[in-house]
Structure 1
Amino acid sequence: MKKSAWWVLGIVVVLVAAVMGVHQISHSAKAKTSTITVGSMGSDYDIWKHIASSKDAKEAGLKIKVQQVTDGVQLNNGTAQGNIDVNAFQSYSYYEAYNKQHPKQQLRALGTTYLEPMGIYSKKYKAISEIPDGATIAIANNPANTARDLLLLQTAGLIKLKANFGALGNTNDITQNPRHLKFKEIDDTTGPRVLKDVDVVLISNTVALEGHLHVLKDSIFHEEINQSTRSNINILATAKGNASNPQYKKLVKLYHKKDIQRYIKDKYYGTKIEVQKPISYLK
Protein backbone atom coordinates (compact mmCIF):
# COMPACT_ATOMS: atom_id res chain seq x y z
CA MET A 1 0.00 0.00 0.00
CA LYS A 2 2.85 2.40 0.87
CA LYS A 3 4.60 1.71 -2.45
CA SER A 4 1.34 2.25 -4.30
CA ALA A 5 0.75 5.57 -2.52
CA TRP A 6 4.24 6.81 -3.36
CA TRP A 7 3.75 5.70 -6.97
CA VAL A 8 0.47 7.67 -7.25
CA LEU A 9 2.08 10.70 -5.60
CA GLY A 10 4.95 10.50 -8.09
CA ILE A 11 2.52 10.51 -11.03
CA VAL A 12 0.71 13.58 -9.58
CA VAL A 13 4.02 15.46 -9.18
CA VAL A 14 5.02 14.67 -12.76
CA LEU A 15 1.64 15.76 -14.10
CA VAL A 16 1.73 19.04 -12.12
CA ALA A 17 5.27 19.74 -13.34
CA ALA A 18 4.22 19.03 -16.92
CA VAL A 19 1.22 21.36 -16.66
CA MET A 20 3.37 24.10 -15.11
CA GLY A 21 5.97 23.63 -17.83
CA VAL A 22 3.38 23.97 -20.57
CA HIS A 23 2.02 27.09 -18.85
CA GLN A 24 5.47 28.66 -18.68
CA ILE A 25 6.22 27.84 -22.31
CA SER A 26 2.84 29.27 -23.32
CA HIS A 27 3.43 32.39 -21.23
CA SER A 28 6.93 32.82 -22.69
CA ALA A 29 5.64 32.47 -26.24
CA LYS A 30 2.92 35.00 -25.51
CA ALA A 31 5.50 37.46 -24.12
CA LYS A 32 7.66 37.10 -27.22
CA THR A 33 4.78 37.83 -29.57
CA SER A 34 3.06 40.50 -27.48
CA THR A 35 2.22 43.74 -29.23
CA ILE A 36 4.06 46.94 -28.30
CA THR A 37 1.83 50.00 -28.45
CA VAL A 38 3.74 53.05 -29.66
CA GLY A 39 2.02 56.39 -29.14
CA SER A 40 2.88 59.21 -31.50
CA MET A 41 1.60 62.22 -33.41
CA GLY A 42 2.09 64.16 -36.62
CA SER A 43 4.89 63.04 -38.91
CA ASP A 44 6.27 60.79 -36.15
CA TYR A 45 3.01 58.84 -36.27
CA ASP A 46 3.51 58.31 -40.01
CA ILE A 47 7.11 57.20 -39.47
CA TRP A 48 6.13 54.62 -36.87
CA LYS A 49 3.28 53.33 -39.03
CA HIS A 50 5.93 52.67 -41.68
CA ILE A 51 8.30 51.09 -39.16
CA ALA A 52 5.54 48.84 -37.77
CA SER A 53 4.91 47.31 -41.20
CA SER A 54 8.57 47.17 -42.22
CA LYS A 55 10.68 44.12 -43.00
CA ASP A 56 13.11 45.26 -40.28
CA ALA A 57 10.40 45.06 -37.60
CA LYS A 58 9.51 41.52 -38.65
CA GLU A 59 13.17 40.47 -38.62
CA ALA A 60 13.52 41.92 -35.11
CA GLY A 61 10.51 39.90 -33.98
CA LEU A 62 8.58 43.03 -33.02
CA LYS A 63 4.83 43.39 -33.39
CA ILE A 64 3.99 47.10 -33.18
CA LYS A 65 0.66 48.88 -32.92
CA VAL A 66 0.84 52.64 -33.49
CA GLN A 67 -1.66 54.85 -31.68
CA GLN A 68 -2.17 58.50 -32.59
CA VAL A 69 -2.60 61.01 -29.74
CA THR A 70 -2.70 64.69 -30.69
CA ASP A 71 -1.83 66.19 -27.29
CA GLY A 72 1.68 65.78 -25.89
CA VAL A 73 0.72 65.90 -22.21
CA GLN A 74 -2.03 63.32 -22.73
CA LEU A 75 0.42 61.13 -24.61
CA ASN A 76 2.96 61.31 -21.79
CA ASN A 77 0.22 60.72 -19.20
CA GLY A 78 -0.95 57.63 -21.08
CA THR A 79 2.62 56.33 -21.25
CA ALA A 80 3.35 56.98 -17.57
CA GLN A 81 0.12 55.20 -16.64
CA GLY A 82 0.95 52.17 -18.81
CA ASN A 83 -1.85 52.61 -21.35
CA ILE A 84 0.81 53.22 -24.00
CA ASP A 85 4.04 51.24 -23.90
CA VAL A 86 6.43 53.65 -25.60
CA ASN A 87 5.99 57.10 -27.09
CA ALA A 88 7.80 58.72 -29.99
CA PHE A 89 7.22 62.44 -30.38
CA GLN A 90 9.14 64.55 -27.88
CA SER A 91 12.48 66.26 -27.42
CA TYR A 92 14.61 65.56 -24.36
CA SER A 93 13.83 69.05 -23.02
CA TYR A 94 10.07 68.42 -23.34
CA TYR A 95 10.54 65.10 -21.52
CA GLU A 96 12.51 66.80 -18.72
CA ALA A 97 9.85 69.48 -18.32
CA TYR A 98 7.12 66.82 -18.12
CA ASN A 99 8.97 64.88 -15.41
CA LYS A 100 9.50 68.06 -13.37
CA GLN A 101 5.81 68.89 -13.57
CA HIS A 102 4.60 65.33 -12.89
CA PRO A 103 6.68 63.92 -10.00
CA LYS A 104 4.21 61.05 -9.46
CA GLN A 105 4.09 60.03 -13.14
CA GLN A 106 7.70 59.65 -14.18
CA LEU A 107 8.98 58.66 -17.61
CA ARG A 108 12.34 57.25 -18.64
CA ALA A 109 14.15 57.83 -21.92
CA LEU A 110 15.01 54.68 -23.90
CA GLY A 111 17.22 56.19 -26.59
CA THR A 112 17.72 58.99 -29.11
CA THR A 113 16.14 59.24 -32.55
CA TYR A 114 16.70 62.55 -34.34
CA LEU A 115 16.99 66.30 -34.11
CA GLU A 116 14.86 68.52 -36.30
CA PRO A 117 15.71 72.22 -36.12
CA MET A 118 13.26 74.70 -34.64
CA GLY A 119 12.73 77.58 -37.06
CA ILE A 120 11.87 81.27 -36.94
CA TYR A 121 9.34 82.09 -39.68
CA SER A 122 7.87 85.30 -41.06
CA LYS A 123 5.63 86.29 -43.97
CA LYS A 124 6.67 89.93 -43.58
CA TYR A 125 10.45 89.79 -43.14
CA LYS A 126 13.19 87.89 -44.94
CA ALA A 127 15.94 88.26 -42.33
CA ILE A 128 16.35 88.63 -38.57
CA SER A 129 17.84 92.09 -39.13
CA GLU A 130 14.55 93.29 -40.69
CA ILE A 131 12.40 92.54 -37.61
CA PRO A 132 11.37 95.98 -36.32
CA ASP A 133 10.95 97.56 -32.90
CA GLY A 134 7.75 96.38 -31.19
CA ALA A 135 7.20 93.37 -33.46
CA THR A 136 4.91 90.61 -32.17
CA ILE A 137 6.49 87.17 -31.93
CA ALA A 138 4.36 84.06 -31.42
CA ILE A 139 5.93 81.39 -29.20
CA ALA A 140 4.72 78.06 -27.83
CA ASN A 141 2.53 78.01 -24.73
CA ASN A 142 3.88 74.69 -23.41
CA PRO A 143 6.84 75.03 -21.02
CA ALA A 144 9.43 72.96 -22.88
CA ASN A 145 8.90 74.63 -26.24
CA THR A 146 8.55 78.07 -24.66
CA ALA A 147 12.06 77.67 -23.28
CA ARG A 148 13.37 76.28 -26.56
CA ASP A 149 11.83 79.18 -28.52
CA LEU A 150 13.38 81.78 -26.23
CA LEU A 151 16.80 80.15 -26.46
CA LEU A 152 16.58 80.29 -30.26
CA LEU A 153 15.60 83.97 -30.14
CA GLN A 154 18.65 84.56 -27.96
CA THR A 155 20.89 82.70 -30.44
CA ALA A 156 19.43 84.89 -33.19
CA GLY A 157 20.52 87.97 -31.22
CA LEU A 158 17.02 89.29 -30.52
CA ILE A 159 16.96 88.90 -26.72
CA LYS A 160 19.14 87.91 -23.78
CA LEU A 161 18.14 85.46 -21.03
CA LYS A 162 19.33 85.08 -17.46
CA ALA A 163 22.40 82.89 -16.96
CA ASN A 164 20.61 79.99 -15.24
CA PHE A 165 17.76 79.79 -17.77
CA GLY A 166 16.33 76.26 -17.61
CA ALA A 167 13.90 73.79 -19.16
CA LEU A 168 10.90 75.59 -17.62
CA GLY A 169 12.13 79.10 -18.41
CA ASN A 170 9.73 81.73 -19.75
CA THR A 171 9.50 85.38 -20.82
CA ASN A 172 10.02 86.51 -17.20
CA ASP A 173 13.62 85.32 -17.62
CA ILE A 174 14.39 87.80 -20.41
CA THR A 175 17.03 90.25 -19.17
CA GLN A 176 17.45 92.28 -22.37
CA ASN A 177 14.89 93.04 -25.08
CA PRO A 178 16.45 95.90 -27.09
CA ARG A 179 13.80 95.81 -29.85
CA HIS A 180 10.92 95.86 -27.35
CA LEU A 181 9.48 92.70 -28.85
CA LYS A 182 6.01 91.59 -27.79
CA PHE A 183 5.33 87.92 -27.15
CA LYS A 184 2.12 86.06 -27.89
CA GLU A 185 1.81 82.52 -26.57
CA ILE A 186 -0.01 80.10 -28.87
CA ASP A 187 -0.79 76.41 -29.12
CA ASP A 188 2.39 75.36 -30.92
CA THR A 189 0.46 73.07 -33.28
CA THR A 190 -1.18 76.17 -34.82
CA GLY A 191 2.05 77.91 -35.87
CA PRO A 192 1.58 77.75 -39.66
CA ARG A 193 -2.01 78.98 -39.36
CA VAL A 194 -1.13 82.13 -37.37
CA LEU A 195 1.85 82.99 -39.58
CA LYS A 196 -0.19 85.57 -41.50
CA ASP A 197 -1.55 87.19 -38.30
CA VAL A 198 1.69 88.09 -36.49
CA ASP A 199 5.13 89.40 -37.44
CA VAL A 200 7.12 86.31 -36.51
CA VAL A 201 6.31 82.74 -35.42
CA LEU A 202 8.57 80.04 -33.98
CA ILE A 203 7.52 76.63 -35.28
CA SER A 204 8.81 73.14 -34.54
CA ASN A 205 9.77 71.17 -37.64
CA THR A 206 7.11 68.48 -37.19
CA VAL A 207 4.41 71.17 -37.19
CA ALA A 208 6.16 73.09 -39.98
CA LEU A 209 6.14 70.03 -42.24
CA GLU A 210 2.43 69.58 -41.65
CA GLY A 211 1.99 73.19 -42.76
CA HIS A 212 4.11 72.56 -45.89
CA LEU A 213 7.08 74.53 -44.57
CA HIS A 214 10.71 73.38 -44.91
CA VAL A 215 12.83 74.61 -42.03
CA LEU A 216 16.06 74.67 -44.03
CA LYS A 217 14.49 76.66 -46.88
CA ASP A 218 11.53 78.63 -45.53
CA SER A 219 12.67 79.82 -42.10
CA ILE A 220 14.61 83.08 -41.69
CA PHE A 221 16.69 81.49 -38.91
CA HIS A 222 16.91 77.99 -37.44
CA GLU A 223 18.76 75.87 -34.92
CA GLU A 224 22.15 74.44 -35.83
CA ILE A 225 23.21 70.95 -34.79
CA ASN A 226 25.69 71.45 -31.95
CA GLN A 227 26.22 70.97 -28.21
CA SER A 228 23.91 73.85 -27.34
CA THR A 229 20.93 72.10 -28.97
CA ARG A 230 21.53 68.58 -27.65
CA SER A 231 18.57 68.81 -25.23
CA ASN A 232 16.35 69.29 -28.28
CA ILE A 233 17.17 65.84 -29.64
CA ASN A 234 14.09 63.61 -29.83
CA ILE A 235 13.82 60.42 -27.84
CA LEU A 236 11.72 57.31 -27.28
CA ALA A 237 10.23 57.28 -23.78
CA THR A 238 8.43 54.79 -21.57
CA ALA A 239 7.09 54.57 -18.00
CA LYS A 240 9.75 54.59 -15.30
CA GLY A 241 9.11 50.95 -14.39
CA ASN A 242 9.52 49.75 -17.98
CA ALA A 243 12.90 51.32 -18.74
CA SER A 244 14.75 47.99 -18.69
CA ASN A 245 12.28 46.12 -20.93
CA PRO A 246 14.47 44.51 -23.62
CA GLN A 247 11.65 44.53 -26.19
CA TYR A 248 11.21 48.28 -25.79
CA LYS A 249 14.95 48.84 -26.15
CA LYS A 250 14.83 47.01 -29.47
CA LEU A 251 12.69 49.85 -30.82
CA VAL A 252 15.67 52.21 -30.58
CA LYS A 253 17.87 49.90 -32.67
CA LEU A 254 14.99 49.38 -35.09
CA TYR A 255 14.62 53.12 -35.66
CA HIS A 256 18.28 53.41 -36.70
CA LYS A 257 18.20 50.64 -39.32
CA LYS A 258 19.55 51.80 -42.70
CA ASP A 259 16.33 51.08 -44.61
CA ILE A 260 14.27 53.01 -42.06
CA GLN A 261 16.65 55.97 -42.14
CA ARG A 262 16.60 56.05 -45.94
CA TYR A 263 12.81 56.24 -45.86
CA ILE A 264 12.81 59.07 -43.30
CA LYS A 265 15.42 61.10 -45.18
CA ASP A 266 13.57 60.80 -48.48
CA LYS A 267 10.10 61.50 -47.08
CA TYR A 268 11.05 64.48 -44.88
CA TYR A 269 13.67 66.07 -47.13
CA GLY A 270 16.53 65.67 -44.68
CA THR A 271 14.90 67.78 -41.95
CA LYS A 272 14.90 64.95 -39.39
CA ILE A 273 18.60 64.53 -38.72
CA GLU A 274 19.48 61.14 -37.25
CA VAL A 275 21.13 61.18 -33.82
CA GLN A 276 22.41 57.91 -32.38
CA LYS A 277 23.82 58.82 -28.98
CA PRO A 278 23.56 57.42 -25.43
CA ILE A 279 21.06 59.15 -23.17
CA SER A 280 23.98 60.36 -21.04
CA TYR A 281 24.98 62.65 -23.95
CA LEU A 282 21.78 64.66 -23.47
CA LYS A 283 22.25 65.36 -19.75
Structure 2
Amino acid sequence: MEEMRKSRIILTLVGLVIVAVGVITLTVQNNGTKNADTITIGSIGSDVQIWKHIASLPETKKEHLNIKVKSFTDGISLNTATAENKIDVNAFQSYAYYIAFNKSSKVGKLADLGTTYLEPMGIYSNKYKTVKSIPDGSTIALADNPANTARGLKLLEKAGLIKLKSSFGSLSGTSAIADNPHHFKFEEIDDTTGPRIMKDNSIAAVLIGNTIALEGKLNVLKDSIYHEEVNQSTKENINILATADKNKNNKKFKKLLKIYHSDKVQKYIKEKFDGTKIQVQKPLSYFND
Protein backbone atom coordinates (compact mmCIF):
# COMPACT_ATOMS: atom_id res chain seq x y z
CA MET A 1 0.00 0.00 0.00
CA GLU A 2 2.80 2.35 0.97
CA GLU A 3 4.49 1.77 -2.39
CA MET A 4 1.23 2.49 -4.25
CA ARG A 5 0.73 5.69 -2.29
CA LYS A 6 4.26 6.86 -3.14
CA SER A 7 3.69 6.03 -6.81
CA ARG A 8 0.49 8.10 -6.89
CA ILE A 9 2.30 11.06 -5.29
CA ILE A 10 5.13 10.81 -7.82
CA LEU A 11 2.68 10.64 -10.75
CA THR A 12 0.78 13.66 -9.41
CA LEU A 13 3.98 15.67 -9.09
CA VAL A 14 5.07 14.70 -12.61
CA GLY A 15 1.66 15.77 -13.90
CA LEU A 16 1.94 19.14 -12.19
CA VAL A 17 5.40 19.67 -13.66
CA ILE A 18 4.11 18.87 -17.17
CA VAL A 19 1.21 21.32 -16.78
CA ALA A 20 3.54 24.02 -15.45
CA VAL A 21 5.96 23.54 -18.35
CA GLY A 22 3.05 23.71 -20.79
CA VAL A 23 1.78 26.97 -19.29
CA ILE A 24 5.26 28.52 -19.38
CA THR A 25 5.76 27.42 -23.00
CA LEU A 26 2.39 28.82 -24.06
CA THR A 27 3.12 32.12 -22.32
CA VAL A 28 6.48 32.43 -24.07
CA GLN A 29 4.88 31.65 -27.41
CA ASN A 30 2.15 34.24 -26.89
CA ASN A 31 4.64 36.89 -25.78
CA GLY A 32 6.98 36.14 -28.66
CA THR A 33 4.44 36.33 -31.48
CA LYS A 34 1.48 38.50 -32.37
CA ASN A 35 -1.83 37.26 -30.98
CA ALA A 36 -3.72 35.66 -33.88
CA ASP A 37 -6.93 37.43 -32.81
CA THR A 38 -5.36 40.91 -32.75
CA ILE A 39 -5.73 43.21 -35.76
CA THR A 40 -2.99 45.83 -35.92
CA ILE A 41 -4.22 48.98 -37.63
CA GLY A 42 -1.72 51.59 -38.78
CA SER A 43 -2.90 55.17 -39.12
CA ILE A 44 -1.82 58.80 -39.27
CA GLY A 45 -2.92 61.97 -37.49
CA SER A 46 -6.58 62.30 -36.55
CA ASP A 47 -7.46 58.83 -37.84
CA VAL A 48 -5.45 57.35 -34.98
CA GLN A 49 -8.02 58.83 -32.59
CA ILE A 50 -10.89 57.30 -34.56
CA TRP A 51 -9.47 53.79 -34.49
CA LYS A 52 -8.51 53.98 -30.83
CA HIS A 53 -12.13 54.93 -30.14
CA ILE A 54 -13.39 52.03 -32.26
CA ALA A 55 -10.98 49.66 -30.47
CA SER A 56 -12.53 50.59 -27.12
CA LEU A 57 -16.17 50.01 -28.12
CA PRO A 58 -18.18 47.05 -26.74
CA GLU A 59 -19.49 46.53 -30.28
CA THR A 60 -15.94 45.77 -31.38
CA LYS A 61 -15.55 43.19 -28.61
CA LYS A 62 -18.87 41.59 -29.61
CA GLU A 63 -17.43 41.03 -33.08
CA HIS A 64 -14.50 39.26 -31.38
CA LEU A 65 -12.04 41.84 -32.67
CA ASN A 66 -9.06 42.96 -30.63
CA ILE A 67 -7.71 46.10 -32.28
CA LYS A 68 -4.25 47.49 -31.68
CA VAL A 69 -3.59 50.93 -33.21
CA LYS A 70 -0.12 52.01 -34.28
CA SER A 71 0.62 55.63 -35.21
CA PHE A 72 2.79 56.56 -38.22
CA THR A 73 4.02 59.92 -39.47
CA ASP A 74 4.16 59.28 -43.21
CA GLY A 75 2.18 57.30 -45.73
CA ILE A 76 5.01 55.60 -47.60
CA SER A 77 6.41 53.88 -44.51
CA LEU A 78 2.89 52.87 -43.42
CA ASN A 79 2.02 51.40 -46.82
CA THR A 80 5.38 49.62 -46.92
CA ALA A 81 4.77 48.10 -43.47
CA THR A 82 1.30 46.98 -44.62
CA ALA A 83 2.59 45.44 -47.85
CA GLU A 84 5.21 43.57 -45.83
CA ASN A 85 2.46 42.30 -43.47
CA LYS A 86 3.93 44.06 -40.43
CA ILE A 87 0.66 46.03 -40.22
CA ASP A 88 -2.62 44.19 -40.88
CA VAL A 89 -4.77 47.09 -42.11
CA ASN A 90 -4.11 50.76 -42.67
CA ALA A 91 -6.52 53.67 -42.49
CA PHE A 92 -5.21 56.96 -43.83
CA GLN A 93 -5.08 57.15 -47.60
CA SER A 94 -7.16 58.16 -50.58
CA TYR A 95 -7.86 55.73 -53.39
CA ALA A 96 -5.56 57.76 -55.68
CA TYR A 97 -2.70 57.58 -53.16
CA TYR A 98 -3.21 53.81 -52.91
CA ILE A 99 -3.08 53.43 -56.70
CA ALA A 100 0.09 55.53 -56.85
CA PHE A 101 1.76 53.36 -54.20
CA ASN A 102 0.87 50.11 -55.96
CA LYS A 103 2.28 51.42 -59.24
CA SER A 104 5.66 52.24 -57.71
CA SER A 105 5.93 49.63 -54.93
CA LYS A 106 8.84 47.21 -54.97
CA VAL A 107 7.90 45.57 -51.65
CA GLY A 108 4.50 44.16 -52.59
CA LYS A 109 1.00 45.26 -53.53
CA LEU A 110 -1.91 46.41 -51.41
CA ALA A 111 -5.60 45.58 -51.75
CA ASP A 112 -8.47 47.92 -50.89
CA LEU A 113 -11.04 46.62 -48.41
CA GLY A 114 -13.66 49.36 -48.68
CA THR A 115 -14.44 53.06 -48.46
CA THR A 116 -14.58 55.19 -45.32
CA TYR A 117 -14.91 58.91 -45.98
CA LEU A 118 -13.90 61.94 -48.05
CA GLU A 119 -11.75 64.51 -46.32
CA PRO A 120 -12.09 67.54 -48.59
CA MET A 121 -8.91 69.18 -49.77
CA GLY A 122 -9.11 72.94 -49.44
CA ILE A 123 -7.52 76.07 -50.84
CA TYR A 124 -6.37 78.24 -47.95
CA SER A 125 -5.09 81.80 -47.82
CA ASN A 126 -4.19 84.25 -45.07
CA LYS A 127 -4.37 87.12 -47.55
CA TYR A 128 -7.40 86.57 -49.80
CA LYS A 129 -11.03 85.76 -49.02
CA THR A 130 -11.98 84.25 -52.40
CA VAL A 131 -10.16 82.42 -55.17
CA LYS A 132 -11.11 85.17 -57.62
CA SER A 133 -9.23 87.76 -55.56
CA ILE A 134 -5.87 85.95 -55.86
CA PRO A 135 -3.75 88.32 -58.03
CA ASP A 136 -2.28 87.31 -61.38
CA GLY A 137 1.28 86.06 -61.12
CA SER A 138 0.86 84.82 -57.53
CA THR A 139 2.57 81.71 -56.18
CA ILE A 140 0.35 78.81 -55.13
CA ALA A 141 1.76 75.96 -53.01
CA LEU A 142 0.94 72.33 -53.82
CA ALA A 143 1.84 69.02 -52.17
CA ASP A 144 4.99 67.43 -53.54
CA ASN A 145 3.70 63.84 -53.82
CA PRO A 146 2.13 62.86 -57.18
CA ALA A 147 -1.32 61.84 -55.94
CA ASN A 148 -1.86 65.05 -53.96
CA THR A 149 -0.24 67.26 -56.61
CA ALA A 150 -2.75 65.99 -59.14
CA ARG A 151 -5.59 66.31 -56.64
CA GLY A 152 -4.64 69.93 -55.94
CA LEU A 153 -4.45 70.80 -59.64
CA LYS A 154 -7.91 69.31 -60.24
CA LEU A 155 -9.24 71.44 -57.39
CA LEU A 156 -7.68 74.57 -58.92
CA GLU A 157 -9.38 73.71 -62.21
CA LYS A 158 -12.69 73.17 -60.43
CA ALA A 159 -12.24 76.61 -58.85
CA GLY A 160 -11.88 78.10 -62.35
CA LEU A 161 -8.23 79.15 -61.97
CA ILE A 162 -6.54 76.85 -64.53
CA LYS A 163 -7.37 74.39 -67.32
CA LEU A 164 -5.90 70.89 -67.48
CA LYS A 165 -5.06 68.80 -70.52
CA SER A 166 -7.58 66.14 -71.56
CA SER A 167 -4.91 63.52 -70.87
CA PHE A 168 -4.59 64.62 -67.22
CA GLY A 169 -4.45 61.63 -64.88
CA SER A 170 -4.41 60.84 -61.18
CA LEU A 171 -0.61 61.20 -61.04
CA SER A 172 -0.16 64.12 -63.45
CA GLY A 173 1.80 67.22 -62.45
CA THR A 174 2.03 70.89 -63.41
CA SER A 175 3.34 69.98 -66.88
CA ALA A 176 -0.21 68.79 -67.63
CA ILE A 177 -1.69 72.30 -67.24
CA ALA A 178 -3.19 73.30 -70.58
CA ASP A 179 -4.01 76.93 -69.75
CA ASN A 180 -2.81 79.20 -66.94
CA PRO A 181 -4.55 82.51 -67.74
CA HIS A 182 -3.56 84.14 -64.45
CA HIS A 183 0.12 83.23 -64.88
CA PHE A 184 0.26 81.56 -61.48
CA LYS A 185 3.56 80.07 -60.30
CA PHE A 186 3.45 76.75 -58.48
CA GLU A 187 5.68 75.69 -55.62
CA GLU A 188 5.68 72.07 -54.51
CA ILE A 189 6.04 71.60 -50.74
CA ASP A 190 6.05 68.84 -48.17
CA ASP A 191 2.29 68.73 -47.61
CA THR A 192 2.69 68.38 -43.84
CA THR A 193 4.01 71.97 -43.78
CA GLY A 194 0.90 73.48 -45.40
CA PRO A 195 -0.51 75.34 -42.37
CA ARG A 196 2.90 76.88 -41.67
CA ILE A 197 3.45 77.85 -45.33
CA MET A 198 0.21 79.87 -45.17
CA LYS A 199 2.12 82.43 -43.09
CA ASP A 200 4.78 82.90 -45.80
CA ASN A 201 4.26 86.31 -47.42
CA SER A 202 5.53 85.01 -50.76
CA ILE A 203 2.71 82.44 -50.99
CA ALA A 204 -0.77 83.61 -52.00
CA ALA A 205 -2.59 80.32 -51.37
CA VAL A 206 -1.88 76.77 -50.20
CA LEU A 207 -3.69 73.54 -51.01
CA ILE A 208 -3.96 71.39 -47.88
CA GLY A 209 -5.50 67.99 -47.27
CA ASN A 210 -7.87 67.77 -44.33
CA THR A 211 -5.76 65.50 -42.11
CA ILE A 212 -2.96 68.09 -42.16
CA ALA A 213 -5.46 70.95 -41.90
CA LEU A 214 -6.93 69.46 -38.72
CA GLU A 215 -3.48 69.16 -37.20
CA GLY A 216 -2.99 72.86 -38.00
CA LYS A 217 -6.32 73.75 -36.26
CA LEU A 218 -8.03 74.48 -39.59
CA ASN A 219 -11.58 73.46 -40.51
CA VAL A 220 -11.87 72.95 -44.25
CA LEU A 221 -15.59 73.78 -44.26
CA LYS A 222 -15.06 77.10 -42.46
CA ASP A 223 -11.49 78.23 -43.03
CA SER A 224 -10.76 77.37 -46.67
CA ILE A 225 -11.67 79.74 -49.50
CA TYR A 226 -12.64 76.79 -51.71
CA HIS A 227 -12.89 73.04 -51.12
CA GLU A 228 -13.87 69.72 -52.66
CA GLU A 229 -17.40 68.34 -52.67
CA VAL A 230 -18.48 64.68 -52.69
CA ASN A 231 -19.27 63.81 -56.32
CA GLN A 232 -17.97 61.72 -59.21
CA SER A 233 -15.15 64.18 -59.88
CA THR A 234 -13.68 63.54 -56.42
CA LYS A 235 -14.23 59.78 -56.17
CA GLU A 236 -10.48 59.01 -56.36
CA ASN A 237 -10.03 61.17 -53.25
CA ILE A 238 -12.24 58.95 -51.09
CA ASN A 239 -10.34 57.30 -48.26
CA ILE A 240 -10.15 53.54 -47.99
CA LEU A 241 -8.99 50.76 -45.70
CA ALA A 242 -6.09 48.84 -47.24
CA THR A 243 -4.29 45.59 -46.50
CA ALA A 244 -1.61 43.39 -48.08
CA ASP A 245 -2.92 41.82 -51.27
CA LYS A 246 -2.84 38.31 -49.80
CA ASN A 247 -5.25 39.41 -47.04
CA LYS A 248 -7.91 40.92 -49.31
CA ASN A 249 -10.50 38.23 -48.49
CA ASN A 250 -9.93 38.25 -44.73
CA LYS A 251 -13.39 38.27 -43.14
CA LYS A 252 -12.22 39.75 -39.84
CA PHE A 253 -10.66 42.71 -41.64
CA LYS A 254 -13.90 43.34 -43.52
CA LYS A 255 -15.76 43.49 -40.20
CA LEU A 256 -13.86 46.72 -39.53
CA LEU A 257 -15.92 48.46 -42.20
CA LYS A 258 -19.19 47.36 -40.63
CA ILE A 259 -18.16 48.87 -37.30
CA TYR A 260 -16.71 52.00 -38.89
CA HIS A 261 -20.00 52.76 -40.69
CA SER A 262 -22.17 52.12 -37.62
CA ASP A 263 -24.33 55.00 -36.41
CA LYS A 264 -22.46 55.16 -33.10
CA VAL A 265 -19.04 55.60 -34.74
CA GLN A 266 -20.32 58.07 -37.31
CA LYS A 267 -21.87 60.21 -34.57
CA TYR A 268 -18.51 60.29 -32.76
CA ILE A 269 -16.60 61.23 -35.95
CA LYS A 270 -19.03 64.00 -36.87
CA GLU A 271 -18.89 65.57 -33.42
CA LYS A 272 -15.14 65.10 -32.92
CA PHE A 273 -14.08 66.49 -36.29
CA ASP A 274 -16.76 69.09 -36.88
CA GLY A 275 -18.20 67.40 -39.96
CA THR A 276 -14.94 67.52 -41.94
CA LYS A 277 -14.77 63.74 -42.49
CA ILE A 278 -17.71 63.07 -44.78
CA GLN A 279 -18.90 59.47 -44.69
CA VAL A 280 -18.77 57.59 -48.01
CA GLN A 281 -20.13 54.05 -48.02
CA LYS A 282 -19.71 52.75 -51.56
CA PRO A 283 -18.86 49.38 -53.12
CA LEU A 284 -15.35 49.14 -54.56
CA SER A 285 -16.89 48.96 -58.04
CA TYR A 286 -17.71 52.68 -57.57
CA PHE A 287 -14.12 53.52 -58.45
CA ASN A 288 -14.52 51.88 -61.86
CA ASP A 289 -17.87 53.50 -62.77
TM superposition score category, shorter chain reference = 0.7 to 0.9
Cα RMSD between the aligned structures?
A: 1.6
Q: Where does 1:52-91 land on structure 2 (aligned, <5 Å)?
A: 52-91=55-94
Report the TM-score, using the length of structure 2 for normalisation: 0.86
- Alpha-carbon distance in structure 2 between the residues aligned to 1:115 and 1:229: 9
Q: What whole-Å deviation, never above 9, does each CA across 1:51-85 have from its counterpart, x for those lacking one?
A: 11112211111000000111101100000010000
- Counterpart of 1:254 in 2: which secondary structure? helix
- Counterpart of 2:171 in 1: which secondary structure? coil
2:253 paired with 1:253: no
Q: Where does 1:258-277 land on structure 2 (aligned, <5 Å)?
A: 258-277=263-282
Q: After TM superposition, give the deviation of residue 282 of structure 1 in Å.
A: 1.6
- Counterpart of 1:109 in 2: which secondary structure? strand
- Counterpart of 2:73 in 1: which secondary structure? coil
**Aligned-partner residue type, residue 222 of structure 2:** K
Name the CA shift for 1:162/1:95 in 2 (closer, same or farther; >3 Å). Answer: same
Q: Where does 1:74-153 land on structure 2 (aligned, <5 Å)?
A: 74-102=77-105, 105-153=108-156
Q: Is the 8 A contact 1:56 1:257 kept in 2?
A: no
**Aligned-partner residue type, residue 210 of structure 1:** E
One of 204, 207, 210 as aligned partner of 2:209: 204
One of 241, 261, 274 as aligned partner of 2:246: 241
- Alpha-carbon distance in structure 1 between the residues aligned to 2:59 and 2:209: 29
**Aligned-partner residue type, residue 63 of structure 2:** A
One of 174, 182, 205 as aligned partner of 1:171: 174
**Aligned-partner residue type, residue 229 of structure 2:** E
- Counterpart of 2:234 in 1: which secondary structure? helix
One of 146, 151, 157 as aligned partner of 2:160: 157
- Alpha-carbon distance in structure 2 between the residues aligned to 1:266 and 1:61: 27
- Alpha-carbon distance in structure 2 between the residues aligned to 1:89 and 1:127: 29
The total of aligned residue pairs comes to 255
One of 43, 50, 57 as aligned partner of 1:47: 50
- Counterpart of 2:64 in 1: which secondary structure? coil
Give aligned-pair identity as a percent: 62
Q: Is the 8 A contact 1:117 1:204 kept in 2?
A: yes
Moved over 6 A (4+): none
The residue that corresponds to 1:19 in the other structure is: none
2:223 paired with 1:218: yes
Q: Which ranges in structure 2 are unaligned for 5 or more consecutive residues?
A: 1-25, 27-32
- Alpha-carbon distance in structure 2 between the residues aligned to 1:144 and 1:269: 26
- Alpha-carbon distance in structure 2 between the residues aligned to 1:227 and 1:278: 14
- Counterpart of 1:89 in 2: which secondary structure? strand
Q: What whole-Å deviation, never above 9, does each CA across 1:192-233 have from its counterpart, x for those lacking one?
A: 011011110000111111111111111000011111111111
Q: Is the 8 A contact 2:149 2:173 kept in 1?
A: yes
One of 186, 189, 195 as aligned partner of 1:186: 189
